[in-house]
Structure 1
Amino acid sequence: MNEQADMQQAVKVYKALGEPTRLKIALLLQEESDQCCSVLGDKLKSVAISTLSHHLKQMAESGLLTSRKEGTFIYYSLDREVAEKYASYLLK
């Protein structure tokens, strides 16, 4: 990855983590990966599923999350390589 692309991804990751709910999501996924939206919603309690879906989409677009689809569910995990490079705080 060239320096410019690296900087652009860093900005996306930091923007994604700059919102408190998204930071909580990242921390939850660091503890236990492969979670679907409804499970994350149960753990976060006060976040509507539609809002949570938006947050997850933003995080996935930043490269911070990986996802896999199983039936109608999408399971999310923290991309540890990206987290290690840009946000090592998440891995403590």
Structure 2
Amino acid sequence: MNRSDEEIKQAVKIYKALGEPTRFQIALLLADSSNMCCGDIGCKLGSVPVSTLSHHLKQLADCGLLDSDKDGTYIYYRLNREMAERFAPELLK
């Protein structure tokens, strides 16, 4: 199956992002939830500093795996299921 250069670049970004255990855990959390804010994700993960968590969320959003909505001062994150189905179906099991 031939894939475009753009698809290959997208896949590499996603796999690099998911190659970090904390980011993989975040993606799994969001796969089981409709949406969560940073504070809720931090509570579920435990001992991840907020600045580190923000960095992980940005990495996942930049590769297209997370979508977000802003509501006042809160940003709610959700898994982009289309991207997950296409590049990381393990997250949806």
Q: Specify the TM-score bucket, using the shorter chain as the normaliser.
A: over 0.9
Task: Supply the distance in 2 between the matched residues of 1:68 and 1:47 (Cα, whole angstroms).
Answer: 22
User: Shift of residue 33 of structure 1?
Assistant: 2.4
1:55-84 Cα distance to aligned partner (Å, 9 max, x none):
000000000000000001100000000000
1:12-39 Cα distance to aligned partner (Å, 9 max, x none):
0000000000000000000012100000
Q: Could you state the TM-score of these two structures normalised by the residue count of structure 1? A: 0.97
Matched to 1:48, the amino acid is P
Structure 1, unaligned runs of 5 or more: none
Residue 60 of structure 2 is aligned to residue 59 of structure 1? yes
Q: Runs ≥4 in structure 1, deviation > 2 angstroms?
A: none
Matched with 1:77 is 78
Question: What are the within-5 Å matches in structure 2 for residues 10-29 of structure 1?
Answer: 10-29=11-30
Task: Supply the distance in 2 between the matched residues of 1:67 and 1:82 (Cα, whole angstroms).
Answer: 14
Query: What is the root-mean-square deviation in Å for CA atoms of aligned residues?
Result: 0.8
Kindly tell me the number of residue pairs found equivalent between the two proteins.
Answer: 91
Task: Supply the distance in 2 between the matched residues of 1:33 and 1:39 (Cα, whole angstroms).
Answer: 12
Identity percentage over the alignment?
Answer: 60
Task: Supply the distance in 2 between the matched residues of 1:88 and 1:63 (Cα, whole angstroms).
Answer: 14
Matched to 2:68, the amino acid is S
Task: Supply the distance in 1 between the matched residues of 2:75 and 2:56 (Cα, whole angstroms).
Answer: 14
Matched with 1:30 is 31
Task: Supply the distance in 2 between the matched residues of 1:70 and 1:7 (Cα, whole angstroms).
Answer: 34
Matched with 2:4 is 3
Q: Could you state the TM-score of these two structures normalised by the residue count of structure 2? A: 0.96
